[in-house]
Amino acid sequence: MNSEFKHVAIIMDGNGRWATQRFRPRVWGHVRGSAVVSDIVQAADDLGVGALTLYAFSTENWRRPNEEVSVLFKLLHKFLLKERARLIANQVSFKVIGDTTRLSPATKKLIADLEAETANFNGLKLTFCFSYGSRMELVRAVNRFMEENPGKELKEEDLDHFLMRPETGDVDLLIRTGGEQRVSNFLLWQIAYAELCFTPTKWPDFTVSEFQRILQSVGQRERRFGGLSPKAVTTENKQAQAIHV
Ligand code: IPE
Ligand code: IPE
Ligand code: MG
C-alpha cells in the first residue's frame, strides 16, 4: 500500500491511564508504550508514509514529577540504542526536534550521531518531538527570521523555512490516541489543513492494524482545502446559471 498521507503525526497519549487501570505505576505505561513506537515506525515505513512525526515529550510535560520525566528520558535513550541499526538499514532519516539541552550528554551524542548518519537517507522521515512545544517552535522561527532578515516582512513561506524540520511540510493526518480531543501545543502551524483522528485506544494498546484501518478510513475523506470537490463544481455551474443575483 502506498499511503495517500505524505505526513502523519501522532500524539501518543494514554500511557499513564493505561497503567493506572492495571494497578501499575504510570511509568509502566511508558515502558509498554515505547515498544509500540517501534512497531508503528516500521508500519509507517512499510505502508509508504513519507514522514512520521511523533510527540514523545512536550514542553509542558516538564510539570510532571522528576521520576516520571527521568524514565521518559531513559526510554528515549534505550529506543535509540535498540532501533539504531534498523533505522539505518531501512534508510530512515531521523531527527529529534525540541529543546534537547536538558538531555544527558550520552543521549545527545546518540541523537547527533544518528541524525548525522541518516541525514541524507531517502526513506521515511522520522521525527521525534522531545521537549517540544509548537509555540516555542513558532517563536524561535520568527526570531531567527528577524535575525537573518532585519526589517523584512515575514511571509508564510519564510515561516515554513524556519521551522525545526521544514522538509516534512504540512501534516496530512493527525492521530491522537488516549481519547482526549485536543492538540496540546503540537504542530499548530503544520496542522492547518490536517485530517484529525481521535481514537479512544490508549497508546500501549495501539496496534499496526488499527493504524492501517485509520489510514484507510481517513483516506476516504474528501479533502477540499477550502475549495469544492470536482463533482460539486460541475453541478454548481449548471444550477448557478438559473439563479440571477
Ligand atoms: C503520553 O501518555 C506520554 C506523555 C505525555 C509523555 P500520558 O503520560 O500523558 O498518559 P495519560 O494521558 O496520563 O494517560
Ligand atoms: C500530549 O499529551 C503530549 C504527548 C503525548 C507527548 P499530554 O498528556 O501531555 O496532554 P494533555 O496534558 O492531556 O493536554
Ligand atoms: Mg496524557
- 6-21 residue pLDDT tens: 999 999 999 999 999 9
Site residues for ligand 1, CB cut-off 6 Å: 12-17, 57, 61, 72, 178
Higher pLDDT, 242 or 57: 57
Tell me what the mean pLDDT of segment 184-196 comes to.
Answer: 98
- Examine the residue annotation and report whether 61 is marked as an active-site residue of this protein: yes
- Is the pTM value of this prediction over 0.85? yes
Which residue's CA is the nearest one to ligand 2's atom 2?
A: 13
Q: Average the pLDDT over 155-172 and give the result.
A: 97
Beta bridge partners of 95: 127
For the chain, percent of residues with pLDDT exceeding 90: 91
Task: Quote the pLDDT of residue 129.
Answer: 98
Number of the ligand 1 atom closest to the C-alpha atom of 180: 12
Question: What is the homologous superfamily of the domain 7-244 according to CATH?
Answer: Decaprenyl diphosphate synthase-like (3.40.1180.10)
Q: Whose CA is nearest to atom 8 of ligand 1?
A: 16
**pLDDT per residue over 90-121, tens digit each?**
999 999 999 999 999 999 999 999 999 999 99
Nearest to 7 by CA among 125, 143, 141: 125
pLDDT-derived band of residue 1, with 50, 70 and 90 as boundaries? low
Domain locations along the chain: 7-244
Please indicate whether residue 75, judged by its CB atom, sits closer than 6 Å to ligand 2.
Answer: no
What does the mean pLDDT of the chain come to? Answer: 96
Strand ranges inside the chain, DSSP E: 7-11, 51-58, 93-97, 125-132, 173-176, 195-198
Ligand nearest to the backbone CA of 20: 1
Ion ligand 3 residue ranges (Cβ < 5 Å)? 13
